[in-house]
Structure 1
Amino acid sequence: MKSKRILVWFRNDLRLHDNEMLVEAISKSDSILPVYFFDPYYFDPTQFNTVKTGMSRTKFLLESVAALRASFQQLGGDLLVLYGKPEELMAGLVDQYEISEVYHHREVAPEETQISTKVEDLLWKLKINLRHFIGHTLYNKEDLPFPIKDIPDVFAQFKKKTERDAMVKSCFLSPDHIEFVENEDWGQLPGLKDLGFEEETFPGEEDALRGGEEAGLQHLSDLLLEGAAVYQKYTAKQSAEREAFSSRLSGWLSLGCLSPRMVYWMVKEAESKFGSNANFNQMLLGLLWRDYYRFMFKKHGTRFFKEPDFESDFFSSVDPANSVLKKWKTADTGYPLIDNYMTELNDTGYISYTGRLVVATYLVHFLKVHWTNGAVYFEEKLIDYAPASNWGNWANVAGVGKDGKSKNGIDIDKLRKMLELSVSGETSVA
C-alpha cells in the first residue's frame, strides 16, 4: 500500500510549538517533508530604490530557518531548504517525493496571497490539494464573536467585543516524534552574500536580536520576569520618569518563531505570579493590534486604505528621489529626536513603537511626504516587518485607515515641542 506523504510548506511559521499545521500533517500522514523556500522575489531590488527584505531581517530570517532545521534534526529528520519560487519548484517536489497533499499557513496581504494562489492553481492541475491553515493570530476567526465581514473597523470596538466574547484557545504541544520522508540532499542554507548582500555583517549586529524559536521563547521568559521587576520598581518610586519597557517580541512573532497564543498564556501565567501590571497589559494589547490589522486585511484587502484608486496610485506616490525623504532615511534631518531613531532603525532593524509613531508622524505631517514612502522603507529595514501591521500603522498615522477614531499617532503640537527641545538637548523620548 502506498504511504501518504504530506509536504509541509513553512513560511512565516518557523516553530514547533503551537503549530496546528505541523501537528495535523503528522497525524494525517505516514511521513512529512518540511520545506522552506528562499523566494528570490523577497530579495530582489525594487523600483523604489529599496530591497523587499533588508540585511537585518534577512539575518534574523536565516537564524530562524537554521533553528527550525536544528529542531527537526534533533527529531531525526531535517528541513529541505531551496532557493527559488514556490510556484516553480512545487511540481517537481510533488513528483520526486510522491507527495499526496501540501499544507501551508494562509497569509492575508496581497503579495503573499498571490503566491499561495499560484501554488494552489499549479497543484490543482496535478490533482493535489493545498490545505490552508490559519496560525498567525491570537484568536481563530471561527472563535470571533462576528464573521469577518462584520468585524468592527474601529479598533476600540473590536477590542471590547473580542475580549468580552471570544476565547483564546490552548496551544498545541510541540511534537516529540516525527516520521520524515527519506531524502539524501536537504539543501544548503544560504548566506547573506548568496542572497545579494555585499557583506556578511552590518553595523548593529552585536546588539541585534537572534532569530529562532528557542531564542524567542527564552527572550519571552526573561521578559516576563523583567516586566514585573520594571513595573514594581516604578510603582515603588512613584516616579514620573518611568524606566522604558519594550517587549521586542515582534521579530519572533512576525516570522512565527513565537505563537501569539504562547505569548498570551505565558503572560497570563506571569500575571498569576506577579499580578497584572502595565507592562503585561501592553504586551497583550500588542497582540490584539496584530490581530486587528490581519483581520482588517482579510476583510477589506487594499480597500482598507481610504484613498481613491490606491492600487493604481501607489507607484506614483513612492518617490525615492525626494530630497527630504532621503535625509529622513539617512538620519540627516537635523533633529536629534528623529535622527537617533532612524540611526537605530538603519543599524539594528528595530525601533520602539513610540519611535515608529514619532518618525512616521514627522515624515507625513511635517515633511509632507506621502506615507507610502515610509511604509516601503520600513518594509526593507524592520526585522519584524509584517505587511498588515506595517501598512495598517502607517495608514492610521496618515489618517487614511478605516479606524477614524484611532489614537495611533503622536499629537502634532506635542511632537513640534519635542523636536525643538531635542535640538536644544533638553529632552529625549524613551
Structure 2
Amino acid sequence: MKSKKILVWFRNDLRLHDNEMLVEAIAKSDDILPVYIFDPRNFQLTPQYTYRSGVIRAKFLLDSIADLRKSFQRLGGNLLVLTGYPEEILPVLVERYDIAEVYHHREVAHEETKVSADVEDCLWKLRINLRHFIGHTLYNKEDLPFPIKDIPDGFAQFKKKTERDAIVKACFLTPEVIAFVAIEEWGDLPAVEEIVSAEAMIGEVHQELIGGEEEGLKHLNALLEEGSTIYQKSTVKGATGKSGFSSRLSAWLALGCLSPRMVYWLVKDAEETFGTNPHFSQILLGLLWRDYFRFMFKKHGQHFFNDYAMKPERLFSEDREKLLFEEWKNGTTGNEYVDNYMAELNTSGFIPHAARLLLSTYLIYVLKIDWIKGAAYFEEKSIDYAPANNWCNWAIVAGGGKNTGTIKSAFDLDKQFKLLNLVVYKQ
C-alpha cells in the first residue's frame, strides 16, 4: 500500500511544542518531510537602502534552525535545509518524494503572504494542496468574540472584549514519535557570510541572546522561577525615569521558537505560585499587543497605514536629511539617550520597547525623517523583528494607524519629548 507523505514547510514557527501544523501532519501521514528554505529575498537590499536582515538577526535565525534540526535528530530524523525560492523548490520536492500535501503556517504581512500565494499557485498546477495553519497568536481567529472584519481598531476596546469573551486554548503536546521521509542528503546549514551581504556584516557585534526553542524555554522558565523578584532588567532611565523590566521573550516569539500560548499558560501557572505582579502582567499585555497587530494586518493589510503616515512632512534638505539619518543610525546625534540606545541596538540586536519608542519619537518628530526609513532599519537590526509588530508600532508613533487614539494607550508622546530635553517641532 502506498504511504502518505506530508511536507511540513517551516517558516517563523521553529519549535516542536504547541505546533498544530506539525501535530496534524504527523497524525494525517505515514511519514513527514520537515523543510526549511533560506529565501534570498529575506536578506536583500530594501528600497530604503537597508537590508532585510542584518548579521545579528541572521545569527539568531541560524541558531534557531540548528536547534530545530537537533530536535528532529533526537527523534531519529532531520530537517531538510535548502536555499532558494520556495515557489521553485517546493514543487520539485513534491514530485521527487511523492508528497501528498504541503503544510505551512500562514503569515499576515504583504510580502510573506505573496510568497505563500506563489507557492500555492505552483503546487496547484501539480494538484497538490497547500494547507494553511495559524500558530503565531494567543487567540485563534475563530475564538475571537467578533469576525476579523469587525475587530475593533482601537487596542483598548480589542483588549477589553477579547479578555472578557475569548478563550486561550490549551497547547498541543510536543510530539514524542515521528516517522520521517527517507532522505540521504539533508543539506548543510549555511554560514552567516553565505546569506548576509558583506555590507550588512560591517560593525561590532555582541550577540547576547541565542536562538532556538531550547534556549527560549530556558529563558522563559528562568524568568518565571524567580517569581519576578530578580528578573533580568534593562536600564531604560531615559525612557521611563527608572530601570524598566524587559523579558526579551519577543526574540523567540518572533521566530516561533516560543508559542504565545505556552508563554501565557506558564505565566498563569507562575501567578498561581507567586501571585500576580506587574512583570507577569506586562508579559501578558505584550502577547495581546502582538495579537492586535497581527489581526490589524489581517483585517486591513496595507490599508492599516493612513495617508498621513505615508506622506510625512519634511523639514530639511535631502542632503541634510541623509546626514541626519546616518547620525541616527550610527548613534552619533549628540543626544545621549538616542546614541546609547542606537549603539545597543547595533551591537546586540535588542533594545526594550520603551527605548524603541524614544528612538522613533526622535527620528519622526525631531529630525522630521520618514518613519518608514526608521522601521526598515529596525527590520535589519532587531533580532525580534516581526512585520506586524515593527511596522504597526512605527506607524502608531507617527500618528498613522487606523485609530490614531491608540498612540495614547501605547505611550505618552509628551513625556518622550520631556525626557529628550529638547524643544521639538510637534505635528
Mark yes or no: TM-score above 0.5.
yes
CA drift at 1:338: 0.4
Query: How far apart, CA to CA, are the structure 2 residues paired with 1:269 and 1:22?
Result: 25
CA shift in 2, pair 1:345/1:243, >3 Å: closer
CA shift in 2, pair 1:393/1:309, >3 Å: closer
Match of residue 95 from structure 1: 95
Matches within 5 A, 1:270-419: 270-307=270-307, 310=310, 322-406=322-406, 407=408, 410-419=411-420
CA shift in 2, pair 1:192/1:202, >3 Å: farther
Question: The residue matched to 2:34 in structure 1 has which SS?
Answer: strand
Aligned-residue RMSD, C-alpha: 2.2
Query: How far apart, CA to CA, are the structure 2 residues paired with 1:413 and 1:183?
Result: 59
1:339-383 Cα deviation digits (max 9, x unpaired): 000000011111100000000011111111111111111111100
Q: Once structures 1 and 2 are overlaid, which stretch shifts more, 319-328 or 127-136?
A: 319-328
Q: Does the CA contact (< 8 Å) of 1:138 and 1:288 recur in 2?
A: yes
CA drift at 1:118: 0.1
Q: What stretches of structure 1 of length at least 5 have no aligned partner?
A: 234-239, 422-430
Question: The residue matched to 2:180 in structure 1 has which SS?
Answer: coil
Query: How far apart, CA to CA, are the structure 1 residues paired with 2:281 and 2:126?
Result: 48
Q: Does the CA contact (< 8 Å) of 1:393 and 1:408 recur in 2?
A: no
Query: How far apart, CA to CA, are the structure 1 residues paired with 2:13 and 2:419?
Result: 39
CA drift at 1:416: 3.6
Q: Does the CA contact (< 8 Å) of 1:103 and 1:133 recur in 2?
A: yes
Q: Does the CA contact (< 8 Å) of 2:309 and 2:398 recur in 1?
A: no
CA shift in 2, pair 1:404/1:417, >3 Å: closer
1:61 partner amino acid:
L
Question: The residue matched to 1:282 in structure 2 has which SS?
Answer: helix
1:345 partner amino acid:
L
CA drift at 1:415: 3.0
TM-score, length-scaled by structure 1:
0.91
CA drift at 1:196: 3.3
Query: How far apart, CA to CA, are the structure 2 residues paired with 1:138 and 1:184?
Result: 38
Question: The residue matched to 1:205 in structure 2 has which SS?
Answer: coil
Matches within 5 A, 1:106-145: 106-145=106-145
Query: How far apart, CA to CA, are the structure 2 residues paired with 1:226 and 1:333?
Result: 38
Question: The residue matched to 1:229 in structure 2 has which SS?
Answer: coil
2:419 partner amino acid:
M
TM-score, length-scaled by structure 2:
0.91
Match of residue 425 from structure 2: none
1:299-342 Cα deviation digits (max 9, x unpaired): 000110111795xx79x9xx897211111111011001000000
Match of residue 179 from structure 2: 179
CA drift at 1:2: 1.2
Query: How far apart, CA to CA, are the structure 1 residues paired with 2:368 and 2:81?
Result: 44
CA drift at 1:405: 1.7
2:387 partner amino acid:
P
Identical aligned residues as a percent: 62
Match of residue 203 from structure 1: 204
Matches within 5 A, 1:227-246: 228-230=228-230, 243-246=243-246
Match of residue 190 from structure 2: 190
CA shift in 2, pair 1:200/1:214, >3 Å: farther
- Aligned residue pair count: 408
